């Protein structure tokens, strides 16, 4: 597709359950980002992939959060033992550019996956 696709658009789960959120970036974009956005706040960085590797995972809040991008395209954000505080919109973005141009910070975002933990 032409844009960044995220599924599911909405996910309601119970506390303690495992959740996977999928991101399909724009074809050919080598950089992929996950952000999290709570109500009324700006997006908060979680993790950045360059190709298949997680180049910066410093934003993952704890070891319950994990993300993969095995073939350098689709990425999955995995959350174990979900907690009510994990409720947020999880945003995925991709970029065609590497880190050495101003275009590296031009990101195309998906519509997000809204996670609600009851």
Partner 1 sequence: DAKTTQPTSMDCAEGRAANLPCNHSTISGNEYVYWYRQIHSQGPQYIIHGLKNNETNEMASLIITEDRKSSTLILPHATLRDTAVYYCIVRAHFSNAGNNRKLIWGLGTSLAVNP
Q: Please report, as ranges, the residues that interact with partner 1 according to CB under 8 A.
A: 4, 31, 33, 40-45, 48, 50, 55-56, 58-59, 91, 93, 99-112
CB of 51 to partner 1, least distance (A): 12
| Cβ density class 30-47: b for 16+ within 10 Å, e for less | bbbbbbbeeeeeebeebb
Residue closer to partner 1, measured from CB, 33 or 86:
33
- Site of tokens 């360059």: 50
Tell how many helices (H) and how many strands (E) occur in the chain.
Answer: 0, 11
* Alpha carbon distance 107, 98 (integer Å): 11
Cα–Cα–Cα angle for 79, 95, 111, rounded to 5 degrees: 55
Q: Would you say 33 or 73 has its CB closer to partner 1?
A: 33
Minimum CB distance to partner 1, residue 15 (Å): 25
Which C-beta is closer to partner 1: that of 43 or that of 73? 43
Indicate the residue among 46 and 79 with the shorter CB distance to partner 1: 46
Distance, CA of 58 to CA of 79 (rounded, Å): 16
Least distance from partner 1 to the Cβ atom of residue 81, Å? 25
Cβ at position 32, least distance to partner 1 in Å = 10
């Amino acid at each position: 597709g032409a844009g960044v696709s995220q599924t599911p658009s909405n996910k309601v789960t119970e506390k303690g359950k495992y959740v996977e959120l999928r991101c399909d970036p724009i074809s050919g974009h080598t950089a992929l980002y996950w952000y999290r956005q709570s109500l009324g706040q700006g997006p908060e960085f979680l993790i950045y992939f360059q190709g298949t590797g997680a180049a910066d995972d410093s934003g993952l809040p704890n070891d319950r959060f994990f993300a993969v991008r095995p073939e350098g395209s689709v990425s999955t954000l995995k959350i174990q033992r979900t907690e009510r505080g994990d409720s947020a919109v999880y945003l995925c973005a991709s970029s065609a550019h590497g880190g050495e141009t101003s275009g590296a910070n031009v990101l195309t975002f998906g519509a997000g996956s809204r996670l609600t933990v009851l």
